[in-house]
Structure 1
Amino acid sequence: MLRFILAMVIPVIIFIYTMSFTRWMSSQKHLVAATSAALLGVVTLFASGATIWKLLN
Structure 2
Amino acid sequence: MKHSNPHGSGAKGPDELRRQIEHTRSQLGDTVAQLVGRADVKGRARARAADLKDKAGAMTV
Range class of TM-score, shorter chain: 0.3 to 0.5
TM-score by length of 1: 0.48
Bigger proportion of residues as helix: 1
Larger radius of gyration: 2
Higher relative contact order (CA 8 A, sep 6+): 1
TM-score (norm 2): 0.45
